[in-house]
Amino acid sequence: MHTDKPRPRVIIVGGGFAGLECARALARAPVDIVLIDRQNHHCFQPLLYQVATAALSPADIAWPIRAILSRQGNLRVVMANVTAVDTAAKVVQADALTLPYDDLVLASGVTHAYFGHDEWADAAPGLKTIEDARHIRARFLLAFERAELAADDAARRKLLTFVVVGGGPTGVEMAGAMAEVAHETLKEDFRRIDPRMSRILLIEAGPRILPALPDNLSGYAKGVLERMGVEVMADTRVTACSRDGVTLGDGTHIDASTIVWAAGVVASPAAQWIGAAHDRAGRILVNTDLSVPGHPDVFVVGDLASVPNVPGIAPAAKQMGGYVGRLIAARVEGRDPPPPFRYKHAGDLAAIGRRAAVVKIGRFELTGFLAWWFWGIAHIYFLIGLRNRFVVAINWLWSWLTFRRGARLISANGE
């Protein structure tokens, strides 16, 4: 403590990658931090698709925020739902609590968007939270159970048709994992159906899957998926989703029982809380120091920030969070602020099933088996918490060796 003044209060909204990294960057700063999240856990979103396809348990990729930050004495965690921000009075409203701040860091992220068709949400759940993953897992596994009992061929075919909408990394990883479950994991488990007859469709509106990667890598990914039995449909727009299936741009209807939405995101309502300018997806436009124009005491980090040429991926969120943490620390300690935020792109990678991946780091490109190991090691390395790394590594090794999946539980409230 440098002075007798009360320490500046920093409120961080959101315990994702950006919020956590911001909190850590402030660990030694003379501030009092309140981190607010409506969940009690941080979720390692890049591996959510593995929970949705029963390879990992929720607790393998989620960790209590309190436990992550328990040693940080200048911080307390509040599990509550932020409903409003008063930038004039400088207070955050979270459920019944009114919390004053000197600096506010908004890191509440994004959720899936249905391009104005919110009514598709029930038929085509997205994959952003542990609950989402558990829900998709139950629906996916129940489809096989119901197909086993189906009365006729048409019903059976519909139940065994799985559609993934969106050909980004999440969609590619989801489709690959679904194909493995259907064609390998479950192949001996049923008597009346053969899960290998399942159809898995990956639908992408743009001209190719994995658009962030160069042509050759995206072509490679398509080839691997097709050999795994995934039907990859690029240049294909989905015009309707319902419990009956999807309708495509050319009017074709595909009967399908299970649809996973991996296309498009919309920001959490933070722009409305502070009345800030935002892009079409609701992401808040920020200055080069990630503060909000007109609000030098409000910062936006992670997927919620609209920053040109910065993708919505974990490394970018961490870089923004760390930057704002260092900026606030410098300010309260009277040091010079850091230069404007500059994003360093580490690379792109996506796993395709359990035998292949695509990796691009700078000019370095890698595909196939070696790329899969690189992908696996990189993800385990970044998983928070020693135990999780260890359990995830064992689960992967086990399912890799046996094609089995350990977390194949259907919850009562899965549907």
Per the annotation, the verdict on 173 as an active-site residue is yes
Please identify, among the stretches 123-131, 242-250, 306-314, 339-347, the one whose residues bind a second copy according to the rule CB under 8 A.
123-131
Closest CA to 132 of 265, 321, 317: 265
What is each CA distance from 231 to 61, 167, 203, 204, 252, in whole angstroms? 29, 12, 8, 11, 15
Binding of a second copy at residue 196 (CB under 8 A)? no
List 102, 111, 121, 148, residue binding a second copy (CB under 8 A): 148
Burial class (CB in 10 A: 0-12, 13-18, 19+), 32: middle
Binding of a second copy at residue 343 (CB under 8 A)? no
Nearer to a second copy, 76 or 342 (CB): 76
Q: Rounded CA gap, 189 and 148, in Å?
A: 10
Binding of a second copy at residue 409 (CB under 8 A)? yes
Q: Rounded CA gap, 262 and 279, in Å?
A: 20
List 86, 119, 189, 235, residue binding a second copy (CB under 8 A): 189
Nearer to a second copy, 162 or 220 (CB): 162
Residues 57-86 that bind a second copy (CB under 8 A): 57-60, 62-64, 66-67, 70-71, 76-80
Q: Rounded CA gap, 207 and 232, in Å?
A: 11
List 50, 129, 170, 257, residue binding a second copy (CB under 8 A): 129
Contact present, 195 and 187 (Cβ < 8 Å): yes
List 105, 376, 385, 396, residue binding a second copy (CB under 8 A): 385
Size of the site for a second copy (CB under 8 A): 54
What is each CA distance from 369 to 49, 167, 372, 391, in whole angstroms? 20, 21, 5, 22
Instruction: Give residues in contact with a second copy (CB under 8 A).
Output: 39-41, 57-60, 62-64, 66-67, 70-71, 76-80, 95-97, 129-131, 134, 141, 145, 148-149, 186, 188-192, 385, 387-388, 390-391, 394-395, 398, 402, 404, 406-413
